[in-house]
Amino acid sequence: MKELKFHKTKYGKELLIDCFIASETKGFITNRRPYILSFYEIIFIIQGKGTFLLDDVIIPYQKGTIMFLPPNRRREWIAENQTDAYVVLFEGEFIERFFNDNLFVYRFHYFHNYNTPFYLKTEENEFTSYLKKVIEIKNEISNLINDSDHLLRSILYYLLIIINRRYVEQHQIKGELFENIEVLKFIRLLDKNYKEKHLVSDYTQMLGISKTYLNKKLKSFGKSASDLIKSRLLIEAKKELIYTDLTISEIAYNLNFSEPANFIRFFKKQTSITPNQFRSEFSK
């Protein structure tokens, strides 16, 4: 599977953000060709319809759909007709460094969610207002000057916030991420350690809080800490079952299960089928 890294010096100086029209970038939208990006991606569909796969999550899209794609997750287009989009790419560091906040991108519900879709449906006028900001980003990148970094961050910051407000409204999300520091830290630690650490106590120890306190903080999101750990493990397990030729035993050990039987038991409890059955069903 192709893995793409961020081209930091594409414009002659280090710049951790990019914006382009998909149809103007050769091979960006290619049907049934899985790939992985090492950076954040927001896609604004301006033409066409179809579905997009993020690991095993199906995202339906049409004109006016906005898709939010976190790093290091497998992607695949299944376009039904000619699809085009504006694409905004950025490294988390681009905006985290400016705000001196390594939790910044975790404050938005759409990138690191476990309960809600990775997309937003918009009306024409609403979509147009977002695109104006996207085009501002694209134009500024095309005409870089000394203070462009600051302006690009401010436009991106504005765009992320107004879209997050609409996303929360559309998907009727409860729970506030901006001030819920313990939850943000937990989700960030989970993203970095889910393969090695499967126990809630692993994370509460790193956070210096109790399991009861963490679950209390997570209550408004409708998931316990244990639920989120299992969800993240399951995402990775499915990805390896579908897109690699690794054996069940190899996948089990990659995910730090002590025995393949424990992995099979975990997977069946979460999905009601065995890993081999899942692999066979998906390959049909």
> Tens digits of per-residue pLDDT, 26-45?
888 988 888 888 899 999 99
Closest CA to 187 of 161, 169, 214: 214
Residue 284 neighbours by CB under 8 Å, 6+ apart: none
Whether residue 244 is found in the same domain as residue 205: yes
Whether residue 158 is found in the same domain as residue 198: no
Whether residue 162 is found in the same domain as residue 42: yes
DSSP at 217: H
pLDDT at residue number 179: 67
**How do 65-69 and 74-79 pair as beta strands?**
unpaired
Q: What is the dihedral of CA 221, 63, 84, 18, to 10 degrees?
A: -40
Closest CA to 30 of 12, 13, 52: 52
> Residues 51-65: what's their mean pLDDT?
93
Rounded to an integer, what distance in angstroms lies between the CA atom of residue 278 and that of residue 273?
Answer: 6
175 in any annotated domain: no
Q: What is the pTM of this model?
A: 0.86
pLDDT at residue number 3: 74
Two tokens, residue 259: 């025995």
Structural domain of 237: 181-282
Last residue of a domain, one of 119, 143, 170: 170
What is the sign of the dihedral through the CA atoms of 39, 44, 47 and 53? positive
> Residues 147-172: what's their mean pLDDT?
93
Whether residue 240 is found in the same domain as residue 268: yes
176 in any annotated domain: no
**How do 119-121 and 74-79 pair as beta strands?**
unpaired
Closest CA to 107 of 201, 176, 173: 176
Last residue of a domain, one of 170, 200, 231: 170
140, 152 Cβ separation under 8 angstroms: yes
**CATH, residue 261:** 1.10.10.60
66 in any annotated domain: yes
Q: What are phi and psi of 69, to 5 degrees?
A: -120, 115
pLDDT at residue number 222: 77
- Could you report the per-residue pLDDT of 118-155, keeping only the tens digit for each? 999 999 999 999 999 999 999 999 999 999 999 999 99
What Å distances lie between residue 217 and 181, 184, 224, CA to CA?
A: 9, 10, 9
Whether residue 42 is found in the same domain as residue 160: yes
Whether residue 82 is found in the same domain as residue 201: no
199 in any annotated domain: yes
More confident residue, 13 or 257: 257
Count of domains in the chain? 2
Q: What are phi and psi of 250, to 5 degrees?
A: -65, -40
Does position 283 have pLDDT exceeding 70, yes or no? Answer: no
Whether residue 58 is found in the same domain as residue 88: yes
Whether residue 158 is found in the same domain as residue 201: no
Last residue of a domain, one of 170, 204, 220: 170
Q: Give strand ranges (E) for 106-220.
A: 119-121
